[in-house]
Every structure is written in structure tokens, then in C-alpha cells.
């Protein structure tokens, strides 16, 4: 299969990377660290009732040229295409989200992640699209081993035939999602992408969510609540009570160039009054 037709130079410029292009663990680590700092998680399009395209050209147009963010399918498909263009062996996987899900509730396989093969130490898992607690480094596909990343410590445990990804949060292991190793095709992601962006009960069509990391902090936005989490330190939360404050956070803290959409001002006004 030929490599994807993706503008790797534009991607490198977007994330501020000018290092080697060889398919090594060092290259993967550098890209995985920079990507979530430069390309934030955000779901403005479902709120504005704009379609989310998953083709290579749609990803380039939105995430690279329009300097927007995106959610898991956009983020990880873009990373997949770049990695494959560099010669990495990449497989798309699907996961059931467990984060903030009540015990006993089983969610659909609505999250995308990547498996990368070809390394001496075995396959690794990469994921730049989980939002508020997304990985900032790839982890080995090895269960019961604590694995530090530039931010939190993660581990994989076995849950029957599946793997569960957990993060150490304030000394307690929290499950992010569970997944198996069945390869996924673009059409699989398109179904979930359409469902999450259009179904009236999807949280993404009624709530604004954004996330971005820096080397020292994680930032999160839920509607008009802006949170900041220092690595190994305190957390803060403030309410953004005006459309101007919300716009400034989206453009400044999260680095999003807001879309030129006639509904954006009404959306910011509505979100700023959330209680």
C-alpha cells in the first residue's frame, strides 16, 4: 500500500518539529510530545452543526492550514498518516471509553488509538486525541508495567481479552479506556464520527470541550469552565462568564483559530451563561 498523500512539511511546521524523519522510537516520542501541545482537542464543529471530514485533505485543511483542533478521529488519523509517510507500521484500533463512566456501563467503541509495530521492544500504543488526559508519549503494549511519559505515569492491564489503559492521577489509578487489537478501517471511524457529531444524546453536540498540554500544565475547558492542572501540583478552575473571556481562552490558552461561522458569536454567548 502506498504511503498516504499528506503534507508532512506542513505538519512538522504546525507542531514545531525539525528533527529526524526516520521511523524510530526517538522520532515517535518527539512527535507524540509536540502534537498535543500544538494541535488542541476541540469539538466546535458539532456545536455549530458543521460536518467533520476524515479524509486526508479535510484533516490538512482544518488542523494544519486553518490551525484548528479536532477530536480523536481527526487527531489520530492525522498522526497515522504522518507516521505511515515516514515508514512506521501503524494500525488503527478502537476503544470503549471508561473515563467518567459509571461502573457497569459499557460504552460503544467510539475512541480511536494507534498501534505501532516494528520496534525491537515490541509494539507501542500512541494516542494524541483523548482530550484532557491524552498521552504525551507512546507506551509499550506490555501489561502491568508502569510507564512514565512527559506528563503522567500510565500502565496497561489486562481485562479479559482486552487491554485497559490507566493513568496515575493523584496517586490513584484511573481507567481511560479498554481496547482490543482488532484493526479498524476508515469506514469504522466514519460511523462513530457521524454518530458522535449528530446524535442528540451525544455530549459533543451540547457541550464545548477543549484540551491542550504544555510541558508544565494541562488545560481543559468544559463549556465555560476553564481548568488548569500543574504537573505534580495544584489544580485551578475559573468560570468564563462573558463571550469575550471564552473567545480569549479558546484563541489564547488553546491556540484555536475560531472558524468564520455565522453561529460562533451566538454559541459563545450561550456557553458563557452556563451554570
15 grid coordinates:
507542531
Alpha carbon distance 252, 209 (integer Å) = 15
Mean residue pLDDT across the chain: 95
Question: What structural domains and CATH numbers belong to the chain?
Answer: 8-179 (3.30.2140.20), 205-272 (3.30.2140.10)
Distance from chain centroid for Cα 260: 23
172-217 pLDDT per residue, tens: 999 999 999 999 999 999 999 999 999 999 999 999 999 999 999 9
Q: Are 36 and 128 in contact (CB under 8 A)?
A: yes
**What is the per-residue pLDDT for 2?**
57
84 grid coordinates:
505511515
**What is the per-residue pLDDT for 65?**
97
Per DSSP, 2 falls in state P
Alpha carbon distance 37, 39 (integer Å) = 6
Q: ∠165-129-270 over CA atoms, to 5°? A: 120
Residues tagged active-site: 72, 111, 127
10-55 pLDDT per residue, tens: 999 999 999 999 999 999 999 999 999 999 999 999 999 999 999 9
116-170 pLDDT per residue, tens: 999 998 999 999 999 999 999 999 999 999 999 999 999 999 988 899 999 999 8
**What is the per-residue pLDDT for 104?**
76
Amino acid at each position: 500500500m502506498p504511503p498516504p498523500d499528506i503534507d508532512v512539511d506542513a505538519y512538522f511546521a504546525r507542531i514545531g518539529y525539525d528533527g529526524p524523519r526516520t521511523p524510530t522510537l526517538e522520532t515517535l516520542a518527539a512527535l507524540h510530545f509536540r502534537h498535543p501541545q500544538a494541535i488542541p482537542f476541540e469539538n466546535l464543529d458539532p456545536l455549530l452543526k458543521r460536518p467533520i471530514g476524515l479524509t486526508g485533505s479535510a484533516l490538512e485543511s482544518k488542523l494544519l492550514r486553518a490551525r484548528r483542533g479536532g477530536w480523536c478521529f481527526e487527531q489520530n488519523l492525522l498522526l497515522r498518516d504522518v507516521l505511515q509517510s515516514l515508514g512506521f507500521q501503524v494500525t488503527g484500533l478502537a476503544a470503549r471509553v471508561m473515563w467518567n463512566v459509571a461502573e457497569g456501563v459499557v460504552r460503544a467503541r467510539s475512541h480511536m488509538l494507534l498501534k505501532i509495530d516494528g520496534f525491537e521492544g515490541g509494539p507501542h500504543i500512541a494516542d494524541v486525541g483523548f482530550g484532557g488526559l491524552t498521552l504525551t508519549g507512546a507506551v509499550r503494549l506490555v501489561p502491568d508495567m508502569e510507564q512514565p511519559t512527559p506528563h503522567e505515569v500510565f500502565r496497561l492491564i489486562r481485562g479479559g481479552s482486552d487491554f485497559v489503559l490507566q493513568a496515575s492521577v493523584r496517586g490513584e489509578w484511573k481507567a481511560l479506556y479498554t481496547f482490543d487489537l482488532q484493526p479498524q478501517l476508515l469506514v469504522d471511524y466514519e460511523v462513530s464520527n457521524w454518530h458522535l457529531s449528530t446524535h442528540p444524546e451525544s455530549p459533543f453536540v451540547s457541550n464545548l470541550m477543549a484540551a491542550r498540554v504544555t510541558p508544565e500544565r494541562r488545560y481543559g475547558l468544559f463549556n465555560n469552565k476553564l481548568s488548569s492542572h500543574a504537573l505534580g501540583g495544584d489544580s485551578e478552575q475559573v468560570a468564563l462568564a462573558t463571550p469575550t473571556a471564552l473567545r480569549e481562552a479558546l484563541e489564547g490558552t488553546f491556540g484555536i483559530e475560531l472558524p468564520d461561522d455565522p453561529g460562533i458569536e451566538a454559541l459563545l454567548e450561550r456557553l458563557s451563561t452556563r451554570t
